[in-house]
Amino acid sequence: MSAPSLTYQLLTVAVVVLQRQMIHNNVGSRTQWNTTYDYIVVGAGTAGSLIAGRLTENASTTVLLIEAGGPASVITDMPIESWNIETGEFDWGYYTVPQANAGQF
């Protein structure tokens, strides 16, 4: 069996990328909100998403997860693109002091 043509492969990648971007763009389309929540988690980053996910494992618990940033992008789905998102719209531009035991490669 021969490999799919380059055109077919590129079309497949384009469709997958488009699908993922549409999923990202759909975030925030919710229009109905509760007036109260059991928990409010601020920041839908690594820790906030994990905590909100764990809290909602109990179906009777209501959780509001607030995120200040915009929707993710197909760029943020690709680890190899991490160098390109450090100074763009996905970066708050905060700096830290030197850490003795962090950022060591």
Ligand X SMILES: Cc1cc2nc3c(=O)[nH]c(=O)nc-3n(C[C@H](O)[C@H](O)[C@H](O)COP(=O)(O)OP(=O)(O)OC[C@H]3O[C@@H](n4cnc5c(N)ncnc54)[C@H](O)[C@@H]3O)c2cc1C
Site for ligand X, rule CB under 6 A: 42-48, 66-69, 82, 86
Q: Which is nearer to ligand X, 17 or 72 (CB)?
A: 72
The conformation of residue 4, written as its DSSP 8-state character, comes to: P
Task: List 99's β-bridge partners, or say none.
Answer: none
31-69: b (≥16 Cβ within 10 Å) or e: eeeeeeeeeebeebeeeeeebbeebeeeeeeebebebee
* Beta carbon nearer to ligand X, 67 or 73: 67
Minimum distance from residue 45 beta carbon to ligand X (Å): 2
Nearer to ligand X, 45 or 98 (CB): 45
Q: Least distance (Å) from ligand X to the CB of residue 70? A: 9
Q: What is the closest distance, in whole angstroms, from the C-beta atom of residue 96 to ligand X in the complex?
A: 11
Contact status, residue 72 vs residue 25, Cβ threshold 8 Å: no
